[in-house]
């Protein structure tokens, strides 16, 4: 064996588990495996998890905060306007450098798969070419899935549909859209039809920014589910954000959720962004804005969490830590029940992995040896602490390590030196 990890806890509740790895794959999982390896890692009762997966991100904009100016209001619309101001000044090299820096951040935090929406409305397709180059460079250590995203509206922006098809032809993976940003509700519905028909024809997945609004009458998710059903796209279609659902009346939602489940539509919430951008027109009471995560899960609809933005025109914060995303999602959705908190951990690991269609993802024989050892005993503790990543492994090779969290105190009336685990 190349590596064996001893005495680990798994996210499904198993404890004292060994994991044997050879040639980049897991070959055995069980207690006290009678194997020898070139390297042994003592998990010492810590959580061994599959890698984190970010199902919704904008890597073409990441780390561009302050360019060409700061978003003074912090609002969605000013962020969109800022991005429009910045696009003419983008260079391919700057896009590549910022994206690669972010990928380094991601890997250090155990984030080894990202679905990034990339704006295709610039006829130069600078961001498209840049992100394809980034995808090539990071392939050994990170899965980067690219969405052809018409930020300014596929019908509203000149050449957007042509550019989207160009991006797909160049190697992009997913068809994107933003129906609520089209000029009319009718145009929004028409954009969903056009894009879903194109995806069906090309055998591609769909992921649309859908109803990122406080307007309860923004109901493009209904159209997206209808087109998914009509075209047989079950399991290949995702609605991202869905924040208008927060403001819809309960009766309408009671009809919408079964339609989404029947159509096999996935949902992605972006807790850090939804809680800051939505409800801006409210005084009090003020809406949270994030979509109805517990209700979607109860209806049998897969729900993942995305980071969405890190230090860009829309969001001046963020670090690529998906445990921070899960932590915010847990609070905003009031998901503090034991199983609900585990759902939030799954929303940044196994659920987005399934939505992205990642192959060989898991802690089982035959799976890729892509693993994260967390300084926590279980998923709930990992979220509570935003636990340190003791080890990040990709295809059986350790690519990042950090120490456990320790503290040394000197307190009156206590021994001079007291060592303790912060998470115990």
**Tens of pLDDT along 257-304?**
999 999 999 999 999 999 999 999 899 999 999 999 999 999 999 999
The pLDDT tens digits for 139-168 are 999 999 999 999 999 999 999 999 999 999
- The pLDDT mean for the chain works out to 94
pLDDT of the residue at 423? 47
Radius of gyration of the chain (CA): 22
pLDDT of the residue at 1? 78
pLDDT of the residue at 118? 98
Q: How many whole angstroms separate alpha carbon 362 and alpha carbon 368?
A: 7
- Whether residue 180 is predicted with pLDDT greater than 60 in this model: the reply is yes
Has 182 been annotated as catalytic? no
**Triad 100, 102, 105: Cα angle to 5°:** 115
Choose among 350, 357, 360: nearest CA to 237: 357
Q: What integer is the mean pLDDT of 334-351?
A: 98
pLDDT of the residue at 142? 97
Note the pTM of the prediction, 2 decimals: 0.94
pLDDT of the residue at 418? 47
Q: What integer is the mean pLDDT of 105-117?
A: 98
- Whether residue 412 is predicted with pLDDT greater than 70 in this model: the reply is no
Most confident residue range from 275-284, 359-368, 408-417: 359-368
- Whether residue 46 is predicted with pLDDT greater than 80 in this model: the reply is yes
Residues contacting residue 374 through CB under 8 Å, at least 6 positions apart: 46, 47, 48, 49, 110, 382, 387, 388, 389, 390
pLDDT > 70: what percent of the chain?
96
Q: What integer is the mean pLDDT of 170-180?
A: 98
CA distances from 27 to 1, 37, 73, 180, 393 (A): 9, 12, 53, 47, 15
Q: What integer is the mean pLDDT of 235-258?
A: 98
- Whether residue 210 is predicted with pLDDT greater than 70 in this model: the reply is yes
Catalytic residue among 22, 182, 190, 212: 212
Q: What integer is the mean pLDDT of 73-97?
A: 90
pLDDT of the residue at 411? 62
Q: What integer is the mean pLDDT of 65-76?
A: 90
Q: Are 373 and 8 in contact (CB under 8 A)?
A: yes
């Amino acid at each position: 064996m190349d590596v064996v990890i001893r005495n680990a806890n798994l996210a499904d509740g198993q404890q004292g588990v060994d994991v044997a790895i050879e040639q980049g794959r897991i070959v055995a999982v069980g207690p006290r495996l009678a194997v020898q390896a070139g390297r042994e890692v003592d998990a010492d009762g810590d959580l061994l998890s599959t890698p984190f997966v970010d199902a919704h991100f904008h890597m073409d904009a990441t780390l561009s905060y302050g360019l060409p100016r700061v978003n003074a209001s912090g609002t969605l619309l000013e962020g969109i306007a800022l991005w429009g101001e910045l696009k003419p000044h983008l260079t391919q090299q700057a896009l590549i450098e910022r994206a690669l820096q972010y990928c380094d951040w991601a890997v250090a935090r155990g984030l080894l798969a990202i679905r990034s929406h990339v704006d295709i409305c610039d006829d130069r397709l600078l961001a498209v070419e840049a992100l394809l180059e980034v995808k090539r460079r990071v392939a050994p250590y990170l899965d980067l899935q690219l969405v052809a995203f018409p930020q300014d509206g596929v019908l509203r922006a000149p050449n957007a549909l042509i550019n989207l098809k160009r991006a797909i032809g160049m190697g992009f993976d997913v068809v994107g859209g933003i129906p609520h940003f089209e000029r009319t509700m009718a145009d929004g519905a028409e954009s969903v039809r056009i894009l879903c028909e194109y995806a069906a024809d090309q055998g591609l997945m769909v992921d649309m920014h859908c109803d990122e609004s406080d307007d309860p009458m923004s109901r493009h998710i209904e159209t997206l589910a209808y087109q998914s059903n009509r075209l047989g796209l079950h399991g290949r279609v995702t609605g991202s954000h869905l924040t208008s659902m927060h403001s819809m009346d309960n009766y309408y939602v009671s009809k919408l959720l079964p339609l989404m489940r029947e159509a096999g539509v996935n949902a992605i919430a972006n807790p850090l962004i939804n809680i800051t951008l939505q409800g801006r027109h409210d005084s009090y009471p003020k809406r949270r804005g994030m979509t109805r995560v517990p209700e979607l899960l109860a209806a049998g609809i897969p729900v993942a969490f995305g980071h969405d933005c890190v230090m860009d025109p829309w969001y001046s914060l963020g670090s690529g830590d998906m445990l921070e995303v899960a932590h915010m999602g847990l609070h905003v959705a009031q998901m503090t029940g034991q199983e609900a908190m585990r759902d939030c951990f799954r929303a940044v690991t196994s659920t987005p992995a399934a939505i992205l269609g990642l192959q060989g993802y898991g802690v089982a024989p035959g799976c890729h040896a892509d693993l994260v050892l967390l300084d926590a005993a279980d998923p709930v503790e990992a979220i509570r602490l935003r636990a340190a990543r003791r080890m990040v492994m990709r295809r059986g090779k350790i690519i990042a390590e950090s120490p456990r969290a320790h503290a040394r105190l000197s307190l009156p009336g206590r021994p001079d030196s007291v060592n303790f685990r912060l998470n115990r």
